[in-house]
């Protein structure tokens, strides 16, 4: 049975590099709300199990309701933009993330606090700045996967998951960074299990 305690073990907090989403064969569309800064954006805050599996779509009776995060709208636009086509104001992406993932942590974070927790994590862990401080810049250069992992673990104290994808020419590139977060949604922890990386030992960091 489901008790009142949370039925997941930890969260992945996932940030995406827009340059690596947009330069793929699928390309991307800029948000209808305006130009994007060259910064990591939030992809999601995903409840997960320690064995690597994860729950999804946990509560069909809890649809996304933009009015519940009206106070967060400007922070959402700036930090959690949607780059999928066609262009959107983000509500479709946020609805997908809430309904697929957020409903599975509803026993700890309601809809407002779920999005707020992700925004606060983003503010606390500035991946672009952490990489820049280690000399790793979004300049189309090639960097060792270990230098990226070590820059982030050195700054945060915890080993991140680093995921790569491939650009149109087939180059392996830095796509997403995963931090693991405790079930309160506020403190990062050592990852119980790392996501699959798909990174080569050398990865490109494309400009955006
Ligand atoms: P992809 O197949 O593009 O890696 O992932 C597709 C979707 O599956 C993601 O957007 C996310 O919703 C979900 N997903 C993939 N891997 C994980 C994972 O390790 N944990 C969780 N919670 N969701 C995942
Ligand atoms: P996931 O299921 O992997 O958590 O989320 C991916 C879904 O969100 C896909 O259906 C994708 O089309 C949609 N989506 C909308 N905007 C974005 C975006 O900026 N990045 C990613 N990765 N997915 C987006
Ligand atoms: P979904 O089915 O979750 O919408 O998307 C499936 C996969 O395609 C995900 O990895 C998602 O991020 C990606 N995807 C969906 N729409 C777009 C798009 O417009 N541009 C890019 N680059 N990827 C997309």
Domains of the chain: 10-205 (3.90.730.10)
Euclidean distance between CA atoms 101 and 45, whole angstroms = 7
CA 85 and chain centroid, separation: 18
Atom of ligand 3 at shortest range from CA of 21: 22
Q: For residue 51, report the distance from its CA to the centre of ligand 1, in Å.
A: 14
Candidates 201, 195, 207; CA nearest to 51 is 195
CA dist 22 to 14, 15, 31, 33, 96, Å?
Answer: 17, 14, 12, 17, 20
3-state class (DSSP) for residue 6: coil
pLDDT in tens, 147-201: 999 999 999 999 999 999 999 999 999 999 999 999 999 999 999 999 999 999 9
pLDDT along the chain (208 residues), means of 10: 71 98 96 91 98 96 98 97 96 98 97 98 97 98 98 98 97 98 98 96 98
Q: Is 97 designated active site?
A: yes
Strand partners of residue 48: 10
Ligand 1 site, residue 48, Cβ cutoff 6 A: yes
150 tagged catalytic: no
Over the stretch 178-187, which tens digit does the pLDDT of each residue have?
Answer: 999 999 999 9
State the pTM of this model.
0.95
- In the chain, what is the straight-line distance between the N-terminal and C-terminal CA atoms, in Å? 47
Q: Evaluate: CB of 175 within 6 angstroms of ligand 1.
A: no
Please, which residues bridge with residue 164 across strands? 174
């Amino acid at each position: 049975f489901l008790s009142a305690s949370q039925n997941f073990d930890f969260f992945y907090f996932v940030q995406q590099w827009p340059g690596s989403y947009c330069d793929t064969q699928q390309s991307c569309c800029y948000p209808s709300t305006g130009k994007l800064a060259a910064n990591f954006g939030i992809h999601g805050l995903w409840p997960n199990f320690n064995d690597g599996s994860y729950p999804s779509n946990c509560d069909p009776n809890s649809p996304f309701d933009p009015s519940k995060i009206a106070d967060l709208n400007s922070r959402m636009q700036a930090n959690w933009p949607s780059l999928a086509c066609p262009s959107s104001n983000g509500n479709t992406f946020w609805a997908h993330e809430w309904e697929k993932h957020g409903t599975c942590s509803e026993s700890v974070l309601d809809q407002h606090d779920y999005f707020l927790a992700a925004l606060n994590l983003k503010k606390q862990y500035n991946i672009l700045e952490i990489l820049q401080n280690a000399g790793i810049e979004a300049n189309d250069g090639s960097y060792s996967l270990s230098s990226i992992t070590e820059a982030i673990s050195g700054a945060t104290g915890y080993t991140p998951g680093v995921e790569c994808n491939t650009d149109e020419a087939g180059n392996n590139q830095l796509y997403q960074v995963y931090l693991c977060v405790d079930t309160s949604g506020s403190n990062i922890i050592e990852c119980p299990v790392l996501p699959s990386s798909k990174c080569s030992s050398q990865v490109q960091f494309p400009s955006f």
